[in-house]
Structure 1
Amino acid sequence: MGIGNEIKGDDAIGPIIARKLSELFHDNNDVAVFDGGTVPENYTGSIRKESPTHIILIDAVEMKKEPGHIRVVCKDEIAKYNISTHAMPVSFLIKYMETTIGAEIILIGIQPKLMELDQNISKEIEESIDKVVNVVFKLINSSKDL
């Protein structure tokens, strides 16, 4: 699930990645991709219906790193990072999904550069978007062989 606000510059990371992954997995019935936008909690019912074993959340995360830095954010670390430009904090969303869905949840954070209204995605973020799409696509496709 991609999370983010498409009119706030690099905060559009999640929705852009969700669209790209949706195109790559459009013929794969084992993978569901959601663009949660700024209200990812609205998709928890649809996610629950999919009965996933794993959920990957992708969002802009202020980690005080170089723009475009990519990191898997551990649950214990979520509170120390600024993740939320959204209605519900991501930490609440994760706790809710853990208790109601029971899937393994992974948060991939990308350090934004610009998160102002009506900004375009920065160049550093464009490169990170492509990296995340490629890694997630390869990871999911390789897991079928396990």
Structure 2
Amino acid sequence: MELNEFLSKIKGRVLIAGIGNSLRADDAVGSYIVKKLSNEKIDAILVDCEDQPERFIEKIVHHKPDTVIFIDALHMNHEPGSVVFLEKKDLYHTGISTHQTNLKMCIDYIKSRIKTEILIIGIQPENTDFGNRMSEKILDVAETLKNILIKALLLSRF
């Protein structure tokens, strides 16, 4: 889906869940974005799931958000730094999370517990080797996405 369509689906109480392992270079991108957003004045609940989103399902459900946005590095065979905006149904056909627990299973469980719109921002990593830092390309993409989310969440509230 295109960015504008993605943004139009963000409604009501918003929870942004970043997924990432800070020890695996670009894999950290979801967590990195959520940490950067925590310094901003936005109308959203922020959850850093690190590399185990399954451990945060109950916290997500507890908040009863109208919209959940997962941000994660996805291996999609695209150019590094490519970004895709997905709905739950798209995840079954596109991309594989870099994490042990299947993101699809987490989403299915959340959907079984609460009525919420689930959206996913997937970023194609350049490097997920253990012990490396995030690449400049992915840091630039993270900054752009952070700014898009700030603008969307501030504007959607007025």
Aligned to 1:139: 152
Residues 68-119 of structure 1: CA deviation (Å, up to 9, x unaligned): 1111023333234443332310111111111112111100001100011001
Cα distance in 2 between the residues matched to 1:55 and 1:85: 19
**SS at the partner of 2:142?**
helix
TM-score, normalised with respect to structure 1: 0.90
Aligned to 2:9: none
More strand, by proportion: 2
- Choose from 59, 62, 65 the match for 1:49: 62
Aligned to 1:9: 25
TM-score, normalised with respect to structure 2: 0.83
**SS at the partner of 1:24?**
coil
Do the aligned partners of 1:68 and 1:111 also contact (CA within 8 Å) in 2? Answer: yes
**Which runs of 5 or more residues in structure 2 are unaligned?**
1-16
Do the aligned partners of 1:59 and 1:83 also contact (CA within 8 Å) in 2? Answer: no
Cα distance in 2 between the residues matched to 1:49 and 1:75: 20
| Percentage of matched positions with identical amino acids | 32
Q: Which amino acid aligns with 2:23?
A: I
**Which runs of 5 or more residues in structure 1 are unaligned?**
none
**SS at the partner of 1:33?**
strand
